[in-house]
Structure formats: C-alpha cells, structure tokens
C-alpha cells in the first residue's frame, strides 16, 4: 500500500500486524518497524513518539509476562472526533501479569501499564480462553 493509499483509506480499515519474537532485540526491532509505518501516516512528531512509547510498553509487557506467540497490531481509528492510532498486543498469557513472590523495585519495573494509561485516550484489556489482548488508543493530532 502506498502512502497516498494509506492517507486516503478510511480510519479503522488499515491494519498492520507484526509477529513478536521472544528475543532480546524484539522491542527495538518492532519499534523500528512501527517508526517506519508511522512515518507514512504523517502523524505529528509528539503523537508518533507517544505511539512508539505505548508500543514499547505493551510489547515489553507481553514478552515478559506472556507465552508466545504474541502479535502487535496497529490501525487508525476515530476517538471523540479526533484521529487516533489503535495499538493492540495479543498473546497467550493471563489477563493479569503473574504476581511475583516479592514486589518489583518501582525504580526498575512495574510502570509500563501506567505509562500506557497516561498516554492513551482509552485503553483496556480483553481476555478469553485463547489469550489476552491489551490495547490503547493514542490521539494522533
């Protein structure tokens, strides 16, 4: 799909899926791919940065807490009369991350979903017997 086709497509109809590998470089690799995708969507720089941070946090959450396979999907949607990017990560993990024996150090871990909530117009989680999807919608200008 060309940039012109992408810009002309109605919001919500363009869908991009990125399979996530459970490897050390997975988060940075998917960030690079999403950065290229967002460049074609002509988002304001601040909105693109917010989307990339939300992608990083949701992908990291899935890679740390879930069982493979995991998939990142992105598409454009309207939210409250504005354009937004829907970011969704689906995996085979439980709806809530497992509770470790000791609480994580708040300086090191545990802030990712709070960051997602702060940067999103809406966010949530859907779980069923097949796995979990965590999603966020980030305003795009």
At a CB cut-off of 8 Å and minimum separation 6, what does 69 contact? 19, 20, 91, 92
What average pLDDT does the segment 93-99 reach?
62
Confidence band, pLDDT 50/70/90 cuts, at residue 97: low
User: CA-CA distances (angstroms) from residue 79 to 14, 70, 89, 114, 139?
Assistant: 16, 26, 19, 20, 7
Confidence band, pLDDT 50/70/90 cuts, at residue 9: very low
Tokens of 104: 């994580």
| Whether 114 contacts 107, CB under 8 Å | no
At a CB cut-off of 8 Å and minimum separation 6, what does 133 contact? 88, 89, 90, 91, 125, 126, 127
| Whether 55 contacts 20, CB under 8 Å | no
Domains annotated for the chain, with CATH where assigned, are 22-98+108-139 (3.30.565.10)
Nearest to 41 by CA among 79, 85, 82: 85
> Where is mean pLDDT largest: 1-5, 11-15, 31-35?
31-35
């Amino acid at each position: 799909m060309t940039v012109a086709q992408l810009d002309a497509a109605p919001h919500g109809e363009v869908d991009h899926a990125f399979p996530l590998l459970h490897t050390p470089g997975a988060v940075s690799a998917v960030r690079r791919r999403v950065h290229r995708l967002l460049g074609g969507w002509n988002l304001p720089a601040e909105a693109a940065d917010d989307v990339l941070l939300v992608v990083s946090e949701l992908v990291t959450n899935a890679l740390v807490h879930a069982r493979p396979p995991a998939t990142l999907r992105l598409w454009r949607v309207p939210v409250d009369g504005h354009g937004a990017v829907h970011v969704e990560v689906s995996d085979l993990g439980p709806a809530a991350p497992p509770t470790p024996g000791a609480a994580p150090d708040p300086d090191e871990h545990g802030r990712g979903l709070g960051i997602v909530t702060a940067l999103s117009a809406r966010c949530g989680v859907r779980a069923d017997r097949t796995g979990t999807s965590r999603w966020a919608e980030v305003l795009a200008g």
